[in-house]
Amino acid sequence: MPSSPLIGIGFRVPIAKWTLANLHRFDVLEVTVDHYIRGGEYTCKAIRNLVDRIPLVLHGVGLSIGTDVPLDDEYLDGVSEVIEDLKVPSYSEHLAWTKVPGIDLANLLPVPKTRAVAEMLIPKIERLQSRLPVPFSLENISYVFDFPDGEMSDAEFFNLLFRETGVGMLLDVENLFVNSHNHGIDPQGFLDELPEGVVTGVHAAGGPLVRRPYLDEPFYADNHSQQVPEQALDHLGYALQRQHPETIILERDNDYEKGDELLADVSRLREQVARAAAMREASVTDATAH
Ligand SMILES: [Fe+2]
């Protein structure tokens, strides 16, 4: 029987004090490796202060694995040091590109879902796996646009990477919800296509529905400023029927001062996990009764 996922939030320095005061409400915190590498002494101290007080996992935004250049060894050395410093058991990044040589675009951009791009990514993932001392997982991003020459669906592309490298998946249920609304992806179809047990961790967040006179349709923006939408919680419940993530992390990057919203979302995540566990148990009982 897989153990219940640890539930917590992404650690952000602007709410460090509040997080420490509420530490007993979380099972785990997710630290962003880039905050530690580039954040300066105050940020590093705030993050180091968490070690041995609560389990930590590591996430990143600066790898840009989708840029068609070799991996940045200096950056990877930094990640390795942080893994050691913080004694974290895992590291995750986005299946995305954020840079072109010399320029940081400061945006998570989608990779074209083609065989050629997969062939570029596979050796890089394998190199990461052999270079880092902890398991590595890739996150599904939300994207504003998609390349028109894709040869595979989102799930087919991920599955190719899983098959070839054994990499795990960080499933962001809000990104799945946003993509389903903005691009018509079938969220349950996406989840059905994933191999059982491939999801190592989950992200949940919320963002606004953006309406503008020049837009044909309103779209959801993934800016981590609002509570988790019900649909994303539904996706989590559905995913938990076949997946056994070790952690579920609430991401909040704007409107931090609404601590009550964060705590309410953590409770909603716990309730959804409990519901999914009860459903799994009921289906096992049902199966044995027949
Ligand atoms: Fe995420």
Mean pLDDT of 253-277: 95
On whether the CB atoms of residues 196 and 225 are closer than 8 A, the answer is no
Q: Rounded to whole angstroms, how far apart are CA atoms 156 and 185?
A: 13
Residue 70 has pLDDT above 80, yes or no: yes
**Chain centroid offset of residue 56 CA:** 14
The angle subtended at Cα 80 by Cα 79 and Cα 83, nearest 5°, is 85
On whether the CB atoms of residues 137 and 200 are closer than 8 A, the answer is yes
Confidence of residue 25 (pLDDT cuts 50, 70, 90): very high
Q: Rounded to whole angstroms, how far apart are CA atoms 27 and 95?
A: 26
pLDDT tens for residues 29-42?
Answer: 999 999 999 999 99
**Distance of CA 172 from the midpoint of ligand 1 (Å):** 5
Residue 1 has pLDDT above 60, yes or no: no
The confidence score (pLDDT) of residue 149 equals 87
**Distance of CA 203 from the midpoint of ligand 1 (Å):** 5
**Distance of CA 16 from the midpoint of ligand 1 (Å):** 20
Q: What is the CA radius of gyration of the chain?
A: 19
Q: Which two tokens stand for residue 11?
A: 């650690």
Domains and CATH numbers, the chain: 6-289 (3.20.20.150)
Residue 2 has pLDDT above 80, yes or no: no
The confidence score (pLDDT) of residue 216 equals 86
Confidence of residue 9 (pLDDT cuts 50, 70, 90): very high
**Distance of CA 85 from the midpoint of ligand 1 (Å):** 23
**Distance of CA 2 from the midpoint of ligand 1 (Å):** 23
The better pLDDT of the pair 169, 148 is held by 169
**Distance of CA 141 from the midpoint of ligand 1 (Å):** 7
**Distance of CA 247 from the midpoint of ligand 1 (Å):** 13
**Distance of CA 103 from the midpoint of ligand 1 (Å):** 23
Confidence of residue 286 (pLDDT cuts 50, 70, 90): confident
What phi-psi label fits residue 196: left (phi over 0), alpha (psi between -120 and 50 degrees) or beta?
A: beta
**Distance of CA 59 from the midpoint of ligand 1 (Å):** 9
Confidence of residue 130 (pLDDT cuts 50, 70, 90): very high
**Distance of CA 148 from the midpoint of ligand 1 (Å):** 24
Mean pLDDT of 209-236: 92
SS3 content of the chain, % helix, strand, coil (to 5): 45, 20, 40
Average pLDDT taken over every residue of the chain: 95
**Distance of CA 284 from the midpoint of ligand 1 (Å):** 31
pLDDT tens for residues 75-123?
Answer: 999 999 999 999 999 999 999 999 999 899 989 999 999 999 999 999 9
On whether the CB atoms of residues 58 and 38 are closer than 8 A, the answer is no
Residue percentage of the chain with pLDDT more than 90: 84
